[in-house]
Structure 1
Amino acid sequence: MLQRILALIVKELTSLWKDPKTRYVLIIPPLIQVLLFANAANYDVTHARLAIWNDDQGRHSTEIIRRFADSNAFRPVAVVASPAAAQREIDTKDAAAVLRFGQTFSADVEAGRPAAVQLLLDTRRSNTALMIDGYASDIVATYAASLRPGGSVPLVVETRNWFNPTLDSRWFVLPGLVAVLPFLMAMLVSALSLAREREFGTFEQMLVTPLGPLEIMIGKAVPAIIVGWIEANMVLAAAILWFGVPFQGSLLLLEGALVVYMLAGVSIGLAISAFARTQQQGILGVFVYAAPATVLSGFASPIENMPPAFEWLSRLDPIRYMIVLSRGVFLQDMRFDIALLQIWPMALIGLVLLTIATVAVRRALVQ
């Protein structure tokens, strides 16, 4: 019996290795995923985008700004001079924090009076905000110690958390799950659709029906979009009603964006399914795509911390855009013009991949 089992094991391993497609799936994706996780999944905060709001212009505020600029943790990207400008930098995620100095900051330091540096934080990403707050406090404390070695200078950082004042991690995680989980489900349903037809031998029968390639794609896409949209609303309802995550924005805007987003996910699944011969290959294709896409999306670790090549690659990932939009609608009442910056890339990705899948089916029809 053991010999027969051993012979079967050897036979299965040999079959796996002899099949070029299977050999590719076994070797290449794990290497790619190791590369992505090692470089993109970085939980350290480096070169966080910082906007400077300096009403003081004295030597002490100038020196502290220089220390922030010299730190690997921060990268000054903008200078603002009003509350509206500061809010715009954070709303659009152009800056992760705003460092503000009042008009009398340097004078207060010189006179030994209590002086405060205000730090406005985007806490839609609560873990990153906590680390930025710690880095900023350390820089200010180090400067205060340099002014009076062995003594104390009344110099502090006053932190103001925007969008998530309690730094509740569920406010950060659950709006992200509204984007991630339904996308994976919609992609899986669509990835199995054409592969199932091939595996059951009904693909050729479908091709000889009056339906054209585009009609076939629409017929396969719509059910998967509906499944993904329903699951997204289930997660949405649980986040609001069960876990108490505040919903500040427009429900209509979020629902419309979810439809576009599901189209992008379904198009990816159909593109995988158009080239898969079996459902197993379709599932493997989804797995190969899903893990790197989730890492590159910024769901768990900030995109800003990734190397430039991976940050650019994340622009091809629709999950990235929906996570920004979902968290923005949940926590900040994101305006439509800002939301549109996240919607149109998802629509473009969906249309391009749906076109690729349609062309693949048309070629099968010709053959």
Structure 2
Amino acid sequence: MIKILKEIWALIRKETILIWKDKRGRIILIMPIVVQTLIFGFIASFDLNRADFAVLDLDHTHSSRRMSQSFDGSEIFHRTATLQNKAQIKEILDSKKAQMVLVIPGEFEKRLLNGSPAQIQAVISGVNSNVASSLQYYVQRIVEDFNTSRLKDEEKEAVSSSPKYVLRSWYNPNLETRWTILSAIVTILAVIQVMVLAGQSVAREEELGTIDQLLVTPMATISIMIGKAIPPVLVGLLQSTIVLAVSCFFFKIPFSGSLVLLYFGLVLFATGIVGIGLCISIVAKNMQQAMLYSFTVLMPMILLSGFATPIRAMPEIFRYLTYLNPVRYAVEFCQRVFLEGAPLESVATLLFALLLIAVGSFLFSLLLFRRKLS
């Protein structure tokens, strides 16, 4: 047993030296992760902090001016133009000078005073659906505040007895998408480098002509595969640690869960990705082919992870495909442990799925390697 462990350790050292011997290679392993984490933290956000809008007031009354001023007084909306007719709406949206046009129809105040339905129209550019959805939400909130303000002025007694609501958000009090994104890319950013390193491990031996030297050693096939698998797993854990450190100490996102539980899940996840990468490396005939195959597999895995698109919004056939995707389980696991502080019993199903994928992919890569040798 000790002899086998020494053989595996020797192969781990060899693989680690190959990864770290090149100065540029070391920089590539660390610097992109730091830069990408900062970019995701500062730039990749679905939060809407500013929206340019224009006003078309066809009523020109006290109530219509009060409505437009409600938008002017918000922190989100910034008026860039005041229109005179409906023909200008298309022009200003097409020119990107405004993302929304607030249209207040004629007889707006008259309808309000008569108790008739008084509608306003928010014409929103739907080029970016995320921004359009956020604009709809803010418009709704401002109109609700306008109605509440009117009732307070005109029917104070009715307002005092009307129900009020208080909105509270758990795990992300200010609903910052930065928290959601950074807690997910702990796994997303690491998976790319881990897949590439694992995908090149066997293909590199074939391309350099050293595969025969490896095979004539007294090492068993499983020992070779374990020795090939561990260095990429360690690189993945290092990169996840960098992302975690930047998220917690630079962006001040509170880590609510157990580090031991988090790293246990990350080890299972990285092992599963390495298993898939080894399968690619065994099938590929050279490093260039392995790189191409790795990125061909990576893109669908990330898209089907639920990171960018909710899984429930996907077509049914793709929702079933996500059950085979380790990134799906890793993203959910990481977010729940990071933000919610979920205990082991709450994420046991996710860990079991990651374990199945890790064992299954590694055993399949072992089978492919043995068939290739035979």
Fold equivalence (TM over 0.5): yes
How far off is 1:364 after superposition? 2.2
SS in 2 for 1:299: coil
Task: Give the counterpart of 1:308 among 316, 329, 332.
Answer: 316
How far off is 1:175 after superposition? 0.8
- The CA deviation string for residues 343-363 of structure 1, in whole angstroms up to 9 with x for no partner, is 111111111111111111111
Cα distance in 1 between the residues matched to 2:360 and 2:267: 16
Cα distance in 2 between the residues matched to 1:211 and 1:357: 17
How far off is 1:187 after superposition? 1.2
Task: Give the counterpart of 2:274 among 243, 247, 266.
Answer: 266
The reply on whether 1:229 has 2:237 as its aligned counterpart is yes
SS in 1 for 2:307: coil
How far off is 1:204 after superposition? 2.4
How far off is 1:206 after superposition? 1.5
Cα distance in 1 between the residues matched to 2:344 and 2:364: 30
The reply on whether 1:338 has 2:346 as its aligned counterpart is yes
Amino acid at match of 1:175: S
Partner residue of 1:78? Answer: none
Cα distance in 2 between the residues matched to 1:313 and 1:254: 25
Task: Give the counterpart of 2:192 among 184, 194, 210.
Answer: 184
SS in 1 for 2:169: strand
Q: Structure 1 residues 234 and 175, CA, compared in 2 at 3 Å: closer, same or farther?
A: same
Task: Give the counterpart of 1:204 among 212, 217, 226.
Answer: 212
Cα distance in 1 between the residues matched to 2:300 and 2:191: 14
How far off is 1:157 after superposition? 5.6
TM-score, with length taken from structure 1: 0.58
Task: Give the counterpart of 1:288 among 293, 296, 299.
Answer: 296
How far off is 1:365 after superposition? 2.2
Structure 2 unaligned blocks of 5 or more:
1-45, 47-129, 148-154
Taking the TM superposition and a 5 Å limit, the aligned residue runs for 1:119-134 are 134=137
How far off is 1:160 after superposition? 2.1
Task: Give the counterpart of 2:336 among 304, 328, 335.
Answer: 328
Cα distance in 2 between the residues matched to 1:209 and 1:302: 49
Cα distance in 2 between the residues matched to 1:285 and 1:348: 23
Partner residue of 1:357? Answer: 365
Partner residue of 2:326? Answer: 318
Cα distance in 1 between the residues matched to 2:255 and 2:363: 35
Taking the TM superposition and a 5 Å limit, the aligned residue runs for 1:45-124 are none
- The CA deviation string for residues 138-193 of structure 1, in whole angstroms up to 9 with x for no partner, is 9xx8xx9xxxxxx9995666432121111112111111110101111111111000
Taking the TM superposition and a 5 Å limit, the aligned residue runs for 1:135-174 are 158-174=166-182
Amino acid at match of 1:342: L
Q: Is the 8 Å Cα contact of residues 184 and 265 (structure 1) preserved in structure 2?
A: no
Structure 1 unaligned blocks of 5 or more:
1-42, 44-126, 145-150
SS in 2 for 1:162: coil
Partner residue of 1:219? Answer: 227
Task: Give the counterpart of 1:242 among 243, 250, 253.
Answer: 250
Cα distance in 2 between the residues matched to 1:238 and 1:286: 27
Q: Is the 8 Å Cα contact of residues 199 and 278 (structure 1) preserved in structure 2?
A: yes
Identity %: 36
Partner residue of 1:16? Answer: none
Cα distance in 2 between the residues matched to 1:227 and 1:167: 32
Q: Is the 8 Å Cα contact of residues 240 and 247 (structure 1) preserved in structure 2?
A: yes
Cα distance in 2 between the residues matched to 1:192 and 1:298: 27
Q: Compute the RMSD of aligned alpha carbons.
A: 3.0
The reply on whether 1:276 has 2:266 as its aligned counterpart is no
Q: Which has the larger radius of gyration?
A: 2
SS in 2 for 1:159: coil
Cα distance in 2 between the residues matched to 1:311 and 1:160: 30
Cα distance in 2 between the residues matched to 1:237 and 1:260: 20
Cα distance in 2 between the residues matched to 1:353 and 1:246: 34
Task: Give the counterpart of 2:306 among 298, 302, 306.
Answer: 298
Residues matched between the structures, number: 233
